[in-house]
Structures are given as structure tokens and as C-alpha cells.
Amino acid sequence: HPGKAHIIELLDQFEITGPNGHHQCLVTEALGPPLLRGPSAPGHLSPGKSWEVARQLVEATVYMHSMKIVHG
């Protein structure tokens, strides 16, 4: 399924307890570079890149639904 490539892999999980309670930590594979670089970055994706990100999100959602995973 083409959307599977857009789902990050869960490598490990653990819990920690601190002064603010219990927290579940998820360890995933490394993701891509940050969208913003440097203090003068405009904070926006180019129109072409925005469409690419949207397409990947739709493909990932369709894949999750095909695997009977519901998100909220």
C-alpha cells in the first residue's frame, strides 16, 4: 500500500515518573529535516511542498483505515 511509507515505525516504548506524573514515551525512527531553518525562515511551505505533504497525509490515513486503525 503506498500509504505505508508515510507511517513512522514504533521502535520502543517506556514510562517515566516525574514531578508531573506518569508519562508514556514512544521511541520512533528519525524523521526528516525541520521545515523551518534559520531566524529568517518564513514559516510557510511552498505551494508545491504543501500539496506533497497533504497527499502523503491522505495516503497515510487511507492506509491506516485499510488496517482497521481509527484515529481521532
- Backbone φ/ψ region at 71: left (φ over 0), alpha (ψ -120 to 50), beta: beta
Largest CA-CA distance found in the chain, in angstroms, rounded? 44
- Tell me what the pLDDT averaged over the chain comes to: 84
> From the CB of residue 61, how many other CB atoms can be counted at a distance below 10 Å?
15
Which tens digits make up the pLDDT trace of 14-57? 999 999 999 999 999 887 666 665 555 555 677 788 888 899 99
The per-residue pLDDT for 31 is: 78
Which set of grid coordinates corresponds to residue 1? 500500500
Q: Are the C-beta atoms of residues 6 and 59 closer than 8 Å to each other?
A: yes
pLDDT band at 69 (very low <50, low <70, confident <90, very high): confident
